[in-house]
Amino acid sequence: MPETLDDSLALALAAPHLGDGPATAEEIGDGNLNVVYRVSGGGRSVIVKHAPPYLKVVGDAWPLSQDRVRIEAEALALHGELAPDRVPALLAVDLDRAAMVLEDLRGHQVWRTQLVAGVHVTGVAEQMGRYCARTLLGTSDLLMDSADRKRLATRFVNPDLCAITEELVFTAPYTAAESNRVDDAAAELAASLRGDAAMRRAASQLLWEFRTRHEALIHGDLHTGSIMVADGDARVIDPEFAFIGPMGYDTGNVVANLAFSAIAHQELGDGFAGQVDEYLMDFWGALSEEVRLIWPEDHPWDEIFLSNLLEDSARYAATELVRRIVGLAHVVDIDSLPDASRLRAQHRAVAAARSLLLGPPVRSPHDLWSRATTEDVP
């Protein structure tokens, strides 16, 4: 059984990567899964991340494989090769202790934090579009040798973390699961989802696709809390949910989490929603441009691919919109709104999800964005 990370173990793991002199360790993680320390010494600092053998936010009752450390480290390395500079540097991995040492992105902030504060960060949405194109196509049969691709798939079997997503994203929000967290004021909204046979059917179909469409090595949890940003520099962190799955799950997560931001700022009326609209267009524009650039010349169906990816993104965005309102893990963009606008925003997110999941296929990025962010409360 690997040791649990405490100050002294964090200091020991970090020591080879710090300067000379005394060092200090500070626990900084507030995530649902892992224990995270910043260790500083000799004018340098690093991040030490440890994966306990259970889901941190639930405890022993939800055991989790520590193989997620290997998966995260290998995904970081591979995505870093495909999208240079878009992930933090991996400095060391200690599988016996279920821990890794990472570059400390000190000058960066979590993108969600900046979005909530209405702080514009340049170039990040475009970089995220290119990151998605390069990591998704670059780990797919579109660009990989067939035998290499099959070998890659054997390294990213991630049953425990896939089980979290299968339960918390595609199942629990449509049932009376104990894990759901619903504001008292949103109880009727949650009940309306449980009683909506069409939404339950659509979510169940997407669960099937999530489990069976082995398209690329996806990040698996690409919300705006998994992206660190500084002007002109986006870095994607925390790929412990990585597995060979549907590409649209990653892109749909980006879309839904930008939609939460847009809806929240529309409700606040502070003028930042227009900036978020631009982020979505920059994201999808750069993604499309990069796909066309790296697409294999001898397979001329890149426009069909992009249109299918847009449709899949819309449908996975819908399930993310629902689960962050009535499921276990919420988003601060919506939860931090004043009561009346929070309830309206929650209704709007679910209305958007219904439109994206049950309406006609989206025809364009504008159609996707308009349905994700401007659905009226019924």
Single out the residue of 69, 57, 375, 108 nearest to residue 239, CA to CA.
69
Q: How far is the CB of 286 from ligand SR1 (least distance, A)?
A: 24
Q: Tell whether residue 370 is a contact of ligand SR1 (CB under 6 A).
A: no
The region of 14-22, 161-169, 207-215, 349-357 touching ligand SR1 under the rule CB under 6 A is 161-169
Q: Tell whether residue 163 is a contact of ligand SR1 (CB under 6 A).
A: no
CB under 8 Å, gap of 24 or more: what pairs does 220-223 form?
220/158, 220/161, 220/162, 220/165, 220/245, 220/249, 220/250, 221/165, 221/253, 222/132, 222/250, 222/251, 222/253, 222/254, 223/112, 223/253, 223/254, 223/256, 223/257, 223/320, 223/331
- Those residues with Cβ within 8 angstroms of residue 265's Cβ, 6 or more apart along the chain or in another chain: 118, 271, 272, 273, 276
Q: How far is the CB of 24 from Mg ion (least distance, A)?
A: 26
- Quote the tokens at residue 287: 């993604």
Whichever of 159 and 359 has its CB closer to Mg ion, that residue is: 159
- Dihedral, 259, 261, 262, 268 alpha carbons, nearest 10: 150
Q: How far is the CB of 35 from ligand SR1 (least distance, A)?
A: 14
Q: How far is the CB of 305 from Mg ion (least distance, A)?
A: 27
Interface of this chain with ligand SR1, residues 57 to 76, rule: CB under 6 A: 57
Q: Tell whether residue 320 is a contact of ligand SR1 (CB under 6 A).
A: no
Alpha-carbon span 248 to 213, nearest angstrom: 10
Pick one of 221, 290, 333, 375: the residue that binds Mg ion (CB under 5 A): 221
Q: Tell whether residue 320 is a contact of Mg ion (CB under 5 A).
A: no
Q: Are 349 and 325 in contact (CB under 8 A)?
A: yes
Q: Tell whether residue 55 is a contact of ligand SR1 (CB under 6 A).
A: yes
Q: Tell whether residue 203 is a contact of ligand SR1 (CB under 6 A).
A: no
Q: Tell whether residue 164 is a contact of ligand SR1 (CB under 6 A).
A: yes
- Quote the tokens at residue 364: 């364009």
The region of 118-126, 140-148, 160-168, 370-378 touching ligand SR1 under the rule CB under 6 A is 160-168
Whichever of 156 and 369 has its CB closer to Mg ion, that residue is: 156
* Interface positions with Mg ion (CB under 5 A): 221, 238
* Interface positions with ligand SR1 (CB under 6 A): 32, 55, 57, 164-165, 168, 221, 328-329
